[in-house]
Amino acid sequence: MRKKIVAGNWKMNTTLQEGVGLAKDVNEALKKVQPKCDVVICVPFTHLAPVNDVIDQSKLGLGAENCADHDKGAYTGEVSAPMVASTGATYVILGHSERRQYYGETSDTLKTKVNLALQNNLTPIFCIGEVLEQRENGTYLDVVKSQIEEALFGLSADDFSKLILAYEPVWAIGTGKTATDDQAQEMHAFIRDVIEKQYGKKVSENISILYGGSCKPSNAAGLFAKPDVDGGLIGGASLDAESFMGIVNAF
Piece of 32-40, 135-143, 149-157, 230-238 that binds ligand 13P (CB under 6 A)? 230-238
The reply to whether 239 sits near ligand 13P by the rule CB under 6 A is: no
Return the residue of 43, 236, 245, 251 that touches ligand 13P, per CB under 6 A. Answer: 236
Q: How far is the CB of 153 from ligand 13P (least distance, A)?
A: 23
Q: Cα(114)–Cα(109) distance, rounded to whole angstroms?
A: 9
Do 54 and 23 touch, CB atoms closer than 8 A?
Answer: yes
Binding mask 156-195 for ligand 13P (x = CB under 6 A): ------------x----xx---------------------
State phi, psi for 7 to the nearest 5 degrees: -120, 135
Piece of 107-115, 184-192, 208-216, 217-225 that binds ligand 13P (CB under 6 A)? 208-216
How many Cβ atoms sit within 10 Å of the Cβ of residue 198? Answer: 15
Q: Cα(233)–Cα(184) distance, rounded to whole angstroms?
A: 13
The catalytic residue among 65, 105, 168, 188 is 168
Do 114 and 151 touch, CB atoms closer than 8 A?
Answer: yes
Instruction: Render the burial of 161-181: b for 16+ CB within 10 Å, e for the rest.
Output: ebbbbbbbbbbbbeeeebbeb
The catalytic residue among 65, 96, 105, 188 is 96
Return the residue of 38, 41, 235, 250 that touches ligand 13P, per CB under 6 A. Answer: 235
Q: Cα(220)–Cα(251) distance, rounded to whole angstroms?
A: 8
Q: Cα(63)–Cα(51) distance, rounded to whole angstroms?
A: 10
DSSP, res 4: P
The reply to whether 128 sits near ligand 13P by the rule CB under 6 A is: no
Binding mask 77-116 for ligand 13P (x = CB under 6 A): -------------------x--------------------
The reply to whether 40 sits near ligand 13P by the rule CB under 6 A is: no
Q: How far is the CB of 152 from ligand 13P (least distance, A)?
A: 18
Q: Which residue's CB is nearer to ligand 13P, number 72 or number 177?
A: 177
In this structure, what is the dihedral angle of CA atoms 66, 81, 25, 219, given to the nearest 10 degrees? 40
70 has catalytic annotation: no
Active centre residues (catalytic) = 96, 168
Binding region for ligand 13P (CB under 6 A): 9, 96, 168, 173-174, 212-215, 233-237
